[in-house]
Structure 1
Amino acid sequence: MRIWIFLIAFFSFSALAEEDIDCDKAWTTLEINQCMYKELVGAEKVLDKYLVKSLERYLEDDVSLASIKKVKKLGSIIEKSTAARFMTHGATGLSEQR
């Protein structure tokens, strides 16, 4: 039974994801999330462009190349841990006070 609910929900959200949304008028959580995702994808493309240019520029400098790759890897780790923390926060409904 659970698998059917999951499949129905998955395909429903997939169908909604295909809609063209006016992000200036996004109102629901789903619409806002889709708009934020589009913005994220655009930002990642820009960052990837700069990463490629940086790697090309410092091709002969092993120390700089290693540093760029290390920072990229650390950035990915931070991004994943932040997403996991956000998902845990959203799932539990608890706020963290630090």
Structure 2
Amino acid sequence: MKKLWIISGLLVSSSVMATTQTTKIDCDNAYTTLEINQCAEDKFDAANQQLQRYLIQSIQQNNTDKPLVEAIKMAQKQWLQYRDAECSAVYTQWQQGTIRGVMALSCKLALTQQRTLTLWENYLRPMDSSTAILPKPIVDAD
């Protein structure tokens, strides 16, 4: 009987987790800490995907200049270390509150958007009147 209770509990728990993962959150009306954190994480994930696209394009567009490609890769590696350290400090600043997660994610979002813009400005923006391969990224003002 004890095994039956454990198995039933696992099934219910799995069902609740699956429902939670497939439920779309209305981020404009997010209210709970979990919803707010999920929305912040989703926004950061989208910004991080955009950063990866711009980084790959920066490398591809300059692939004939091997020293530049290596410099871009090194800068990205060091930037990731900086971003993680800075946002870890923000998390620590807010460690006593439930807001700590969203504050750290907001830090990562802002730095990631700024890095994407920096990649575009330094390596992807045309110096003539031609059209850029990727559009100028938008940095949130919030």
Q: Could you state the TM-score of these two structures normalised by the residue count of structure 2?
A: 0.50
1:90 aligned to which of 66, 91, 94: 94
The match for 1:72 among 73, 76, 91 is: 76
Within 5 A, what are the aligned runs for 1:1-98?
15=17, 18=21, 19-92=23-96
* Pairwise CA RMSD: 2.3
Distance 1:76 1:41 in 2: 15
Structure 1 residues not aligned, in runs of 5+: 1-10, 94-98
Q: Which is richer in helix? A: 1
Shift >6 Å, 4+ stretches: none
Percentage of matched positions with identical amino acids: 30
The total of aligned residue pairs comes to: 82
The whole-number CA distance in structure 2 between the counterparts of 1:72 and 1:17 is 35
Between 1 and 2, higher relative CO (CA 8 Å, sep ≥ 6) is seen in 2
2:48 & 2:91 partners in 1: Cα distance? 21
Under a length normalisation based on structure 1, what TM-score does the superposition of the two structures give? 0.70
Which whole-Å CA distance do the structure 1 matches of 2:70 and 2:91 have between them?
A: 32
